[in-house]
Structure 1
Amino acid sequence: MEIYVLSLLLLGVLVLTETWAGSHSLKYFYAAMSQPGLAKPRFISVTYVDDQQVLSFDSDRESQSTEPRTPWIKQEIPDYWERETQISREATQRYRMCLQKVSSYYNHSEGGVHTYQRLSGCEVFSNGSFSRGFVQYAYDGQDYLALDTETLRWIAGNTGALNNKLKWEADQSVAKYWKGYMQEECVYWLHRYLENGKQTLLKTDPPYVQVTRHTSSDGKVTLRCRAQDFYPAEISLTWLRDGEEQLQETELIETRPAGDGTFQKWAAVGMLSGNEQKYTCRVQHEGLPERLFLKWEPQSSSVGLSAGVITALLLLLAAVIVGVVIWRKNTSDENRGSYITTESSDSAQGSDVSLTAKA
């Protein structure tokens, strides 16, 4: 085990010499769920590197194995998959017991619908060095326990978590394990994943941004700044009024996956009609060489554009008409010339016929 940990640290140090754009994270989601009709609680684990799901495990699957969720991770050696599967199977048994124990702290029956969850992981700076770590637990969707990595104290979300808090603080080995794991082993695996999946994980796609104007039935005007087709997911959309940030007045939606590996987000701000040109949308993203500043383009611009298009179409139509007139004139002259020639020939032939008849 000591050799294994030492190799992790050595490899981690080697990777630290590489520089990546932006910060990166490795996150593990664990969840045990009970409900009527289930003989045993279901256990699910999901692993994310930045915004990409890379691994998953589901105790309800027949394979009972950790499975890849992105093409690049399939290149890992067989020992890796055996290790990950073993970890997931052990976690299944452990979190089923934890769910049962925590439920008893709240006097909940075993036959009810309950969940016990954990989020853990780490983040690194652009140079690969450790930024922060985190481990948080939740029960039935509510905060349960979280580790303060500075003081190594456990923060209880409610009175039901006090039993675990006192137990884990009495035994500092739990907190020390997590601190060491987050700063060393977690960072190693994050470096490894970033190296193996750098073709997709380290790419940057700039956002396509547009500002639109919307009017509600009561006459209220809203400007919406919408960004899409960007990666990674971290982005900043800020509305400015005369250069001042309008944080309180801005309505934001969370960044959402677009389904094609990119993300989308929008920010909206309301105002009185006629004040639209006082507002500017500021966009910041890793894929942009510099910040973007966009305003809503008034309808007059669209009208001007449409007028220009109409003018071009009219000129094109006029050219076509002139061409048709010239073509018809040329065709008419050719037909007239043919008629004259034919008439002359017919006359000549008529003369010859007449002459012959007279002979």
Structure 2
Amino acid sequence: SLCLHLTVKSQSRPGQPWCQVQSSMDTKPFLQYDSDSNKVRPLGFLGEEVNDTKAWTELSPTVGEAGRELRMVLPVIKLDKKEMRGPPSLQVRLCCQRETEQCSGASLLFSRNGWIALLLDTMSITWTVIDPGATGLKEEWENNQELAEYFRKISMGDCSYWLREFLEHWENMLLPEPTEPLTEAPNNHQPASIPLNKCILPLIFIFIIFICLIVIIIKKCMKKSGTTESENQAGLWFLGRFVLGRTSEK
């Protein structure tokens, strides 16, 4: 839904606008207007998104005209004692909704000096009195066909048009951003597998070097002890059998 909140004063102090407007999309403010500057200013992300569209450029004159029309009806508004707080002012909440590409609802809620007075359903031009003190105002406006037609035009025509033009931008802003599919992180806790031959070969190589050193030491010892050649060969044969047996076990 799109709503415009208009505040119109019969009198205003210097430096204060007599008409102020704030508009919202689904309760999120996106524009602001005042009669002093006669310009529409963007608010929020939606305002920044649509402030260069054709519909945006048409807002300022239409909203300004609505303020002037409402100011013209202020003199006929009679206030109760409870409402007499300063110069007369009129607050109007204009809202419209769209469904299936067409206007499905439009209304104007009128308040006098902050007190809710009348509700106008512009789809059926039906007036509803909320404050009994506004009965006379309702009868006067009800007989003013030109005023009722203007309210119908701005709510079902202009408001519905703005809603249609801005709704696409608003829905695109509400869409979630696409996210990349999650990929599983590599499992760094898997035990590292070491090939068996990489473990055995170094051990065999070390074992052979160790045996060679033993053979050299034994030969030197035999020379010093004066053992015969046959005894030396027997000792080496026994050592060779021992080495082959250990190697086969590996």
Tell me the TM-score normalised to structure 1 length.
0.41
1:118 Cα deviation after fit: 0.4
Matching of residue 157 in structure 1 with residue 130 in structure 2: yes
Match of 1:76 among 20, 37, 53: 53
Gaps of 5+ in 2: 178-250
1:45 Cα deviation after fit: 0.3
Q: Relative to total residues, which structure has the larger helix share, 1 or 2?
A: 2
Three-state SS of the structure 1 residue aligned to 2:86 is coil
1:147 Cα deviation after fit: 1.4
1:92 Cα deviation after fit: 3.9
Three-state SS of the structure 1 residue aligned to 2:175 is coil
Of residues 181-190 and 48-57 in structure 1, the stretch that sits farther from structure 2 once superposed is 181-190
1:180 Cα deviation after fit: 5.2
Letter in 1 for 2:91: Q
Match of 1:194 in 2: 167
Q: Bigger radius of gyration, 1 or 2?
A: 2
Three-state SS of the structure 2 residue aligned to 1:130 is strand
Counterpart-to-counterpart distance in 2, 1:74 and 1:169: 36
Letter in 1 for 2:26: D
1:191 Cα deviation after fit: 1.2
Three-state SS of the structure 2 residue aligned to 1:66 is strand
Letter in 1 for 2:116: D
* Aligned partners of 1:152 and 1:175 also within 8 Å: yes
* Aligned partners of 2:96 and 2:106 also within 8 Å: yes
1:146 Cα deviation after fit: 0.9
Letter in 2 for 1:32: V
Matching of residue 86 in structure 1 with residue 65 in structure 2: no
Match of 1:121 among 59, 72, 95: 95
Structure possessing the higher relative contact order (Cα contacts under 8 Å, 6 or more residues apart): 2
Please show how residues 40-79 of structure 1 align to structure 2 within 5 Å. 42-60=18-36, 63-69=37-43, 70-77=47-54
Match of 1:140 among 85, 90, 113: 113
Query: Matched residues, percent identical?
Result: 24
Counterpart-to-counterpart distance in 1, 2:12 and 2:51: 36
Match of 1:203 in 2: 175
Counterpart-to-counterpart distance in 2, 1:46 and 1:169: 27
Please show how residues 153-302 of structure 1 align to structure 2 within 5 Å. 153-179=126-152, 181-200=154-173, 202-203=174-175
Three-state SS of the structure 1 residue aligned to 2:101 is coil
Matching of residue 112 in structure 1 with residue 89 in structure 2: no
Letter in 1 for 2:51: K
Please show how residues 309-348 of structure 1 align to structure 2 within 5 Å. none
1:114 Cα deviation after fit: 4.8
Counterpart-to-counterpart distance in 1, 2:65 and 2:104: 29
Q: Provide the alpha-carbon RMSD of the alignment.
A: 3.5
1:176 Cα deviation after fit: 4.4
Three-state SS of the structure 1 residue aligned to 2:39 is coil
* Aligned partners of 1:36 and 1:111 also within 8 Å: no
1:182 Cα deviation after fit: 3.8
Letter in 1 for 2:6: Y
Cα displacement string for residues 319-359 of structure 1 (whole angstroms, at most 9, x for unaligned residues): xxxxxxxxxxxxxxxxxxxxxxxxxxxxxxxxxxxxxxxxx
Counterpart-to-counterpart distance in 2, 1:180 and 1:93: 15
- CA gap of 1:174–1:204, structure 2 versus 1, over 3 A, is farther
* Aligned partners of 1:43 and 1:58 also within 8 Å: yes
- CA gap of 1:75–1:48, structure 2 versus 1, over 3 A, is same
Three-state SS of the structure 1 residue aligned to 2:51 is helix
Letter in 2 for 1:175: A
Cα displacement string for residues 88-124 of structure 1 (whole angstroms, at most 9, x for unaligned residues): 333444444444432x444799982553100112112
1:74 Cα deviation after fit: 2.1
Counterpart-to-counterpart distance in 2, 1:108 and 1:38: 26
Letter in 2 for 1:42: W
* Aligned partners of 2:105 and 2:123 also within 8 Å: no
Letter in 2 for 1:74: N
Counterpart-to-counterpart distance in 2, 1:165 and 1:36: 26
Q: Relative to total residues, which structure has the larger strand share, 1 or 2?
A: 1
* Aligned partners of 2:83 and 2:113 also within 8 Å: no
Cα displacement string for residues 34-60 of structure 1 (whole angstroms, at most 9, x for unaligned residues): 788558763210111223222211235
Query: How many residue pairs get matched?
Result: 174
- CA gap of 1:162–1:204, structure 2 versus 1, over 3 A, is farther
Counterpart-to-counterpart distance in 2, 1:39 and 1:72: 30
Of residues 144-153 and 112-121 in structure 1, the stretch that sits farther from structure 2 once superposed is 144-153
- CA gap of 1:169–1:38, structure 2 versus 1, over 3 A, is same
